[in-house]
Amino acid sequence: MQKKIVGIDIDDVLFDFNTGLCEYHNDLYGTTLRREDIIDYDLENLWGCSANEVAQRIEDFYRSTYHQRLNPLDGAVHAVKTLEALCDISVITARPTIALHITMELIESLFPRFSGGVHFLRRVHGPESRRETKGDICERLGVQIFCDDAIRHAASVCAKGIPVLLFDSPWNQGETPAGAVRVYGWKDALPRLIQFLGKKYNQKR
């Protein structure tokens, strides 16, 4: 029997991206930001700079030791290990392909090789570079449920009729898209995914 396909985002779903980004930005630019301060997915207002400068700073962050030290989101490693025995996992990220090798090194340091591969949404950082949506990629890959932290990406996936688990974060406190369910970390998401896969959840770790 063919396994179901679960799609998973990287940043702030697998890895605590914004905590690392805040540490990097504070040290280099003298800010005192915390993850809780990021209440908008777009960072121009928070950082007080242009969209192009935001893109450059994030690309610089990818190449920094701060990025190399990113921690996994609590419960992510256990969740992936559990799910890989039950389904195929396709990782779908809005990261640019210029960060492909750096990203793969980060992933492979903690996670097994994903059975459904790792798929990048765009070539460089910035909205003008986006050619297709995560919804398009999920549809093309046959993803049957998706995990993300961004409302815009969740909405694009839900628009394809694919359910989404939206990881609750300071920057996604707007209205939850129709077809998405808000979850509060992997302790909440993992049992829901296992139930979706038609399996019983064993809480013992």
pLDDT tens per residue, range 98-157: 899 999 999 999 998 899 999 998 654 455 445 789 999 999 999 999 999 999 999 999
pLDDT at site 174 = 87
61 pLDDT higher than 60: yes
Question: Which of 4, 5, 9 lies closest to 186 in space, CA to CA?
Answer: 9
pLDDT at site 123 = 56
Quick one: angle between helices 186-196 and 76-84, nearest 10? Answer: 10
Residues 66-99 have pLDDT tens digits of 999 999 999 999 999 999 999 999 999 999 888 9
Residues 6+ apart with CB under 8 A from 108: none
Domain made up of 5-16+71-196: CATH architecture: 3-Layer(aba) Sandwich (3.40)
202 pLDDT higher than 70: no
Q: Where are the domains of the chain?
A: 5-16+71-196, 17-68
What distance in Å separates the CA atoms of residue 84 and residue 165, rounded to the nearest whole number?
18
1 pLDDT higher than 90: no
pTM of the model: 0.92
